[in-house]
Structure 1
């Protein structure tokens, strides 16, 4: 064998590199969790690219540790409790270690022989989650790579069930449509467009002052759709919405869908896990009546991205989504065999994503997921209380999940100035690197947005954040330097 290849595949080389890397990562976790390193060392995009372009031109180095350390230092640090930005979890170290194992094994899952263990894990994990969502004895599902693919998969199934002809085989010229909250995640809109529904086929239902779908408008909007020659085949309920973490009234949506024999899909990518908590389960009342549900393990369940469950009230519906023949993969394309995952998922070479979830369940039990939901949702409510007790701050809406939207107002009253001020506060926080938060636009106005994803974040961290936001707000206001 070529000497370079021999060295690259050497178990002893791997042993040495892996031991060294685990030490580096353990130090990274310790420094991140104690706040000894910032959430990120921000560089403008062109400067970041220039750095790595220069690095790429360097001679090769048989020791990868300097490169790996540099990658860590120039990445955002999710395990820092002051990371409060996007809906991305700080992964459990065990789940990340399992990812190392699955990466080395590199088992696909389209056919049973290539993914014997992973397909079995997937069956167990999806049935466990369907059971916790109370979807019924016939429920089941699959795992796929993220909420976008998951929502698209579920809506394709809904269309296959509802369409008067076999769309997969014959195509369709029917004018089909879905109904969804105007605060729903953009991936639902994207899925509908991929399916060819177009703008007319995405009927957006206005939301109330809490950013929840106004379900009383479903009936009149359905009648309007019919008058325009559209056939509504699915209604999507948000559990919860992305910007504010607000939950739609799933029970009302379920009643409407039952009345009109329309597929009910619940987008629980972020907040469906409320069903695992006795305290917060009322938020998803009605999800058990959904025909399909998606839940991201990489949001509130501490699993590295991407792992998303697509669950069906009737597991057999999942076999209606894709009906391709591939003789080199399986002998009978029409057989409903759970162990050939490629029949039901977009991916053919699908990662062993189920192994990460299974390892966590077997090691810590499902209580760890419940504890994470209870911790983060409770923290958000206490943070909202802090905001309301501080002069000069405004809460957008009482949080239902772990997402909190607020803004600094100080003595300003002009809406445009407030937008500029909060944008500038957020930009300065980004460059300082001690906290990482984002912003969103609600009803045309800019708000700071916090997603509490790290169970190690404390009330004191949040109080310090508000103090820093206030300091920056006052400084920028005094300088009259509200410039984007």
Structure 2
């Protein structure tokens, strides 16, 4: 255990671990080794956890084979798959400090300064969002938890407006874009709402929620005696990076008296970007999700949910005599557990704090802007390439496209695109994602690394086209 007598051992062990990781990071010439699950599972299963190695060097050697060797390295410029970012170095300093001190952010008497740092960052983020002086919030484990808490608050507020005994839960509805995050449906189920509680609102050609369609759905709910408890707008959809028209949606919610939640897990980096205007309208939201571990380049986990009116956080407040007695609140003791779904909670805010204090918000915003610039260049490249079809021009840094030369059937193209992604991953040379658009399989780049160049993207496109062409040639040969 860490203590005065083991402080030197702690320093040596952490230094040894950091050296290993630094060597791996410096030497990585590709984002992935391409190892298969079955092969790696055999190596992990062979470890006898009841027989310790008794030596840190031996344990690190073993970890090289079980983890570091085959880890997917998001810092590599040809990792282009998901919303995983390379991390800001000051945040890694924060991670080391918070893990060693091991504060728990549930009560003041376990965290002291950590509580105030987290509260200051919530205040800072709320200010960037423009939520107003009554805003508040709390750090969470990620966007899924943030969305769940926001919808819990919306549910309680909606139920408070429905006459008691009216059987309100089956009548509650959540309206969200058809391209919104799956966690909205998951949250509805966890909150005891029916399977049909989430209504998908149609989108336009750019995959953004259509305000006219939202207005019709709100009216349909009213005519059917249903209660819209929340509208979820997305500022950065996972597949397309789309930003729903927030001002128009906010106006419709205000007229209907419906809670507006903005899922800005992806797009929150715009808060420190020269493109801040893309989030105009977010200031009218009742709640907002932000994921600093996406576009603020923070290590997982580092997220928050913010609310316009801090008083609504009472819906997650429970008092326990052994932890946060009611008298503590009366005495003004700042216990963060009064605002959170979690009890024991890491001091993840420290990572963002040190990032802002060392390199500053403008630098973080510049990194995100560089990613968005690269995505715009990549769209130009793809749009001009006859081998590919690109679905929409990116608003953020996601590109969905498909290898689609003329003359092949949709089914053959589906197989070719899936094969290209799998073959690329197996080689380890790059990692891309796949998704389905209008029933057809597509490829996806999610750019979050400022070091990714247009040359990286062009080379990956060539490799993908080669793999797809190989399979498509076999298919066409068999068909003939």
Distance 1:431 1:61, change over 3 A: farther
Q: How does 1:164-179 map to 2 (within 5 A)?
A: 164=160, 173=169, 175-179=171-175
* SS class of match (1:457): coil
Q: The residue matched to 2:329 in structure 1 has which SS?
A: coil
Does residue 1:92 correspond to 2:85, yes or no? no
Distance in 2 (CA, whole Å) between partners of 1:300 and 1:220 is: 34
Cα distance in 2 for partners of 1:55, 1:386 equals: 48
- Whether 1:387 and 2:382 are equivalent positions in the alignment is yes
**Could you say which residue in structure 2 is the equivalent of 1:335?**
329
Q: 2:430 matched to 1:435?
A: yes
Q: 2:398 aligns with which of 399, 403, 409?
A: 403
Equivalent position of 2:305 in the other structure: 310
**Deviation string for 1:250-288 (max 9, x for gaps)?**
11110001111111110001113223222x223222111
Aligned partner of 2:276 in structure 1 is 281
Match in the other structure for 1:325: 319
Picking from 90, 102, 106, the partner of 2:102 is 106
Structure 1 residue runs of 5 or longer lacking an equivalent are: none
Per-residue deviation, 1:98 = 1.6
| 2: CA distance, partners of 1:9 / 1:426 | 52
**What is the CA distance between 1:174 and its match in structure 2?**
5.6
Q: Which runs of 5+ in 2 are unaligned?
A: none
Question: Matched residue of 1:298: which SS?
Answer: helix
Bigger shift: residues 347-356 or 199-208? 199-208
Given the alignment of the two structures, is residue 22 of structure 1 paired with residue 18 of structure 2, yes or no?
Answer: yes
Please state how far the C-alpha of 1:89 moved relative to its aligned partner: 1.2
Seen in structure 2, the aligned counterparts of structure 1 residues 482 and 214 have a Cα distance that, compared at 3 Å, is farther
Change in CA separation of 1:78 and 1:6 when aligned onto 2, cut-off 3 Å: closer
Match of 2:459 in 1: 464
Q: 2:348 aligns with which of 329, 334, 353?
A: 353
Tell me if structure 2 keeps the 8 A contact 1:420–1:482. no
SS at match of 1:267: strand
Match of 2:230 in 1: 234
Is residue 2:194 matched to residue 1:198?
A: yes
1:60 corresponds in structure 2 to 53
SS of the counterpart of 1:200?
Answer: coil
State the secondary structure of the residue aligned to 2:467. helix
Which secondary structure state, in structure 1, belongs to the residue aligned with residue 83 of structure 2?
coil
CA distance, structure 2, for counterparts of residue 167 and residue 260 of structure 1: 18
Q: Say if 2:38 is the partner of 1:50.
A: no
- State the Cα distance separating 1:97 from its structure 2 match: 2.7
TM-score, normalising length from structure 1?
A: 0.92
Q: Cα distance 1:7–1:314, how it changes in 2: closer, same or farther (>3 A)?
A: closer
Match of 2:288 in 1: 293
SS class of match (2:174): strand
Give CA deviations for 1:369-426 in whole Å, capped at 9, x if unaligned.
Answer: 2112211111101001111122211111111111111111123441111111100000
Say whether residues 1:39 and 2:34 are aligned partners: no
> What residue in structure 1 maps to residue 359 of structure 2?
364
Change (3 A) 1:473 1:257: same
Q: TM-score, with normalisation over the residues of structure 2?
A: 0.93
**Is the contact made by 1:265 and 1:292 (CA closer than 8 Å) also made in structure 2?**
yes
Between the aligned partners of 1:171 and 1:22, the Cα distance in structure 2 is 56
2:442 aligned residue = 447
**Using the alignment, how far apart are the partners of 2:476 and 2:25 within structure 1?**
38
**Compared CA separation, residues 80 and 350, structure 1 to 2 (3 A):** same
Matches within 5 A, 1:4-23: 10-23=6-19
1:462 is paired with a residue whose SS is helix
1:66-85 to 2 correspondence within 5 Å?
66-70=61-65, 71-85=67-81
Report the alpha carbon displacement of residue 478 of structure 1 after superposing the two structures with TM: 2.3
Q: State the Cα distance separating 1:306 from its structure 2 match.
A: 1.3
